[in-house]
Chain A
Amino acid sequence: MRLPTWLAQHLAALRAVLVFTALLGLAYPLVLVGVGQLPGLADRTEGSLVRDAGGTLVGSRLIGQLFTDADGNPIPRYFQSRPSAAGDGYDPTSTSASNLGPESVEDTLPVPGALDADGNPDEGTQSLLTQVCTRSRDAGALDGVDGRRPFCTPEGVGAVLRVFHRDGLTGPVTRAVSVNQACPATPFVADFGGVPVECAKPGEDYSGGLVTPVRGDAPDEPAVPADAVTASGSGLDPNISPSYAKIQVARVARERGASPADVKRLVEEHTSGRGLGFLGEPRVNVLELNLALDRALPASG
């Protein structure tokens, strides 16, 4: 019996799909799983797992982790990782970036007493700018350096006004609201364009005003480095920059009763340069550094 051409085509297609599934979908990956078990590779293909001094598995060399206590506060004897948008932070089962844009500058302030869609108290949402400002302020406070940044208020929210003009986009300023500062906060600037700046009333619609971020007088190069105030792409970034490690040295040394020189030496031992001199960026592996600290300079008490 001869099949009609169109049917023969589809029969060939079905058989092709099955043949390729067996070959490329089963044989190929399983052979590679086998290859991955060879000595020298097995350690890596299993996830580059690392153990602490006592021999307990504590994570992967390639996956960052949180060094915070149960309440989410930094444990000061450890070097801190970058902020993370993966689940509640560094959750490999829920990897994610923040995906907030470069002009995400306006918070949605929580309305007191209001409920969100799930019936929980309204928490509002923070803009990326406010997140950056808050992280900078906190990192600065933790390590005793200047946490100020451009476009941030001293309290650590985005310094952003909604400016209303008489004729819409032009004309004299009629009103200015500091949108990320909920009343009764004192606005970060007293007046703008000749009118006093108001604090923001949560829930009020200010969309008629022009979004105006205010640079302020923070230094051009903030003391807290960029990686300390940004979430990574994966949310699992195992590294921090050498400059972020540097501002943490004094605090870690103090907490461990060690000399800053000893801590600094360990940081340098765990710093890698660019691959082949030109690939990527210099970096410090936080987990390996902290494990080395626990081994070499255990915290007293």
Chain B
Amino acid sequence: MSTTTAGIILIATLVAALVAVYRPFGNYMYRVVSGDRHSRVERVVYRLIGVDAKAEQSWGTYARSVLAFSLLSLLFLYGFLRLQDKLWLSLGFDPVTDHIAWNTAVSFVTNTNWQAYSGESTMGHLVQMAGLAVQNFVSASVGIAVAVALIRGFARSRSERLGNFWVDLVRITLRILLPLAVLGAIVLMIGGVVQNLSGGTDVGTVAGGAQTITGGPVASQEVIKELGTNGGGFYNVNSAHPFENPTTWTNWIEMFLILLIPFSLPRVFGRMVGQNRQGYAIVAVMAILAIASVSLTNVFELTGGGTVPQAIGAAMEGKELRFGVSDSSTFAAVTTLTSTGAVNSFHDSFTPLGGMMPLVNMMLGEVAPGGVGAGLYGLLILAVITVFVAGLMVGRTPEYLGKKIGAREIKFASLYFLITPMLALIGTAAAFATGNNGTALNVGPHGLSEVLYAFTSASNNNGSAFAGITVNTPWWDTALGLCMLLGRFLPIIFVLGLAGSLARQKPVPASDGTLPTHRPLFVGMLVGVTVVLVALTFLPALALGPLAEGL
């Protein structure tokens, strides 16, 4: 079998598996977020936290709860990183320096998992499992909770209430993420992912050299890194490391875990608004964009443009042999289409156009299917913009799911959309204006790509990197930290504001003039609006970077 055929079968099996779980797993998540029964464990947790599980919140209170929880998480994690040498299992590592600790704390709290440090030489086991991995869970739950609050905004009418953040957070964590993580971790352990507390085993190699076989609670962190679309690796080289991703089938499992929740959430949307076909329309948009992107990445990588890939004969630099070019390309697309940012190969060494695809995926705003929760609310914002554009064409007040999209709604949606491109482009410009692009490993267009990639990744909360850039300087850590923070929480505030405004409305009955939002026409328009918005925003920057290099 050729590499191409094998690569196509891999993609087909992933699609088939996601189609198979869409309904059952989506229905399960729907019951988790909409049921009103609390388990005993959950009641204990509510008492420990000190919240009233029955009290629903307005959008403002919901937003303040999200922000309070994230702020406390940030402070806690920062302190943890700064004090790691005083705690157990630090493996003798120093406290993390102030700017790297700030960057890392922001990065994990915002579900970005950008890594300005090298795991195996910076982080002790305790800070990995009780600091970083905890945020892998809860930052994912926050994303899903915000998406659910937005859906409640569409589903409810004449209501000030969007649910209770603490209840959503606890339920999503305990009923969705934790059971899947336990199951997934055991599967990964069978594949060879390590799970121990060893500080490393020194061995003499066959040739008479020395090697330290590292240890750590890797499986427990690896699984939630993928499932929560986080992406922060236990080790520097992330999912390329044989202890994080030992074999060809663990690679499949990891891609499936990344895609599982983001691709199933539209089912929750469909169920909650009472029309499953609305969920199908949203998932269709995600699937069209994702399949196109995965295919293009594979084509560009397998045809091997660029001088060095041609000299090599295949774009194998920075790729693991067990995955090969095709499975590495698919992983690269999957990790950047979601907001994961885990890597099993190094995008910096991709062919010029192959390396552009991860960048374009992130620029799409990570909506196909995007990060857990964040992808869905991002795409729903684009859907709002699409009905608005359609409404302008025919001169009608636009509406979506029976809710009028008026001036207030469009303001929230536009602000949401403008935040990340602004952060990414201004950040890139600032790096060049201040000379901080000098830390890029490569020069010329590729150097621009490295800087643009870093800011796009941080602003979109992806966290993958064109890794040939030194980012552990105070300037980079601060700038990217700000991008991650603003790129996460400003959009969340706008989404919740939009949700509050939608929930307050009374529904408008559908009429002959209403644009049906479940038909192929709307799916096509939404795909078009997404692509056109991205192209208009980012084409000039792309033309100076990867396009200049590749054409």
Residues of chain A having any CB pair with chain B under 8 Å: 5-6, 8-17, 19-21, 24-26, 28-29, 31-33, 35-36, 41, 44-49, 52, 56-60, 62-63, 65-70, 75, 78, 82, 86, 90-105, 128-129, 132-133, 149-152, 158, 213, 220-222, 225-227, 229-241, 274-281, 283, 287, 290-291, 294
Contact = CB atoms under 8 A, between A and B. Distances in A.
Nearest to A159: B311
Contact of B346 (A44, A69, A213, A233): A233
Nearest to B129: A29
B131 interface: yes
A285 B148 CA distance: 47
A78 B207 CA distance: 9
A151 B310 contact: yes
Contacts of A290: 206
B237 A96 contact: yes
A290 B205 CA distance: 11
Interface in B11-26: 13
B349 A101 contact: yes
Nearest to A82: B321
A47 B213 contact: yes
A93 B203 CA distance: 13
A32 B207 contact: no
A62 B242 contact: yes
Nearest to A231: B317
A46 B446 contact: no
A287 B311 contact: no
B94 interface: no
Interface in B328-352: 328, 343-346, 348-352
Contacts of A225: 313
Interface stretch (B45-53, B398-406, B505-513): B45-53
B50 A103 contact: no
B370 interface: no
Contacts of A229: 312
Contact of A36 (B189, B212, B237, B306): B189
B248 A274 contact: yes
Contact of B189 (A45, A100, A158): A45
A129 B49 contact: no
Contact of A227 (B196, B205, B321): B321
B247 interface: yes
Contact of A92 (B129, B191, B214, B317): B214
Most A CB contacts (10 A, CB to CB) among B6, B193, B252 go to B6
Contacts of A241: 321
Contacts of A60: 213, 242
B121 interface: yes
A222 B313 CA distance: 8
Contacts of B190: 41, 44
A90 B518 CA distance: 53
A41 B248 CA distance: 19
Contact of B248 (A67, A235, A280): A280
Given A226-B316, A235-B237, A93 B345 contact: no
Nearest to B137: A24
A188 to B, nearest CB: 14
Contacts of B414: none
Most buried by A among B133, B134, B309: B134
Given A29-B129, A239-B321, 19 more contacts: A25-B130, A29-B217, A32-B186, A33-B217, A45-B219, A47-B198, A48-B246, A56-B204, A95-B235, A97-B348, A128-B317, A132-B311, A231-B318, A240-B321, A275-B249, A278-B6, A278-B10, A280-B247, A280-B248
A103 B444 contact: yes
Contact of A58 (B204, B214, B241, B466): B204
Given A24-B178, A233-B345, A280 B323 contact: yes
Contacts of B166: 12, 16
B319 A49 contact: no
Contacts of B220: 28-29, 32-33
Contact of A239 (B194, B204, B217, B322): B322
Contacts of B549: 101-103
B439 interface: no
B180 interface: no
20 contacts: A9-B64, A15-B48, A25-B131, A33-B220, A35-B189, A41-B190, A47-B198, A57-B201, A63-B213, A93-B120, A99-B467, A99-B468, A100-B468, A129-B307, A233-B237, A233-B345, A238-B242, A275-B249, A279-B248, A281-B322
B49 A12 contact: yes
B95 interface: no
Contacts of B178: 24, 28
A283 B322 contact: yes
B248 A94 contact: no
A57 B324 CA distance: 29
User: Which of B9, B193, B195, B441 has the most chain A CB atoms closer than 10 A to its own CB?
Assistant: B195
Contacts of A149: 311-313
Interface of B: 1, 3, 5-6, 9-10, 13, 45, 48-51, 61, 64-65, 68-69, 71-73, 76, 118, 120-121, 129-131, 133-134, 137-138, 166, 169, 173, 178, 181-182, 185-186, 189-198, 200-201, 203-209, 211-215, 217, 219-221, 235-237, 240-243, 246-249, 251-252, 305-324, 327-328, 343-346, 348-352, 355, 441-442, 444-446, 449, 466-468, 549
Contacts of A63: 211, 213, 242-243
Given A45-B195, A281-B322, A93 B121 contact: yes
Contacts of A5: 61
A184 to B, nearest CB: 26
Contact of A13 (B65, B344, B441): B65
B206 A78 contact: yes
A220 B309 CA distance: 12
A6 B206 contact: no
Name the residue among B169, B191, B206 with the largest chain A CB count within 10 angstroms: B206
Contacts of B206: 52, 58-59, 65, 67, 78, 287, 290-291, 294
A13 B213 contact: no
B543 to A, nearest CB: 16
Contacts of A78: 206-207
A273 B173 CA distance: 39
B217 A32 contact: yes
B307 A233 contact: no
B206 to A, nearest CB: 5
B6 A132 contact: no
Contacts of A279: 6, 10, 248-249, 251-252, 327
Contact of A65 (B207, B318, B352): B207
B354 to A, nearest CB: 8
Nearest to A8: B50
B110 to A, nearest CB: 15
B221 A29 contact: yes
Contacts of B212: 91-93
B48 to A, nearest CB: 5
A281 B321 contact: yes
A62 B444 contact: no
Contacts of B207: 65-69, 75, 78
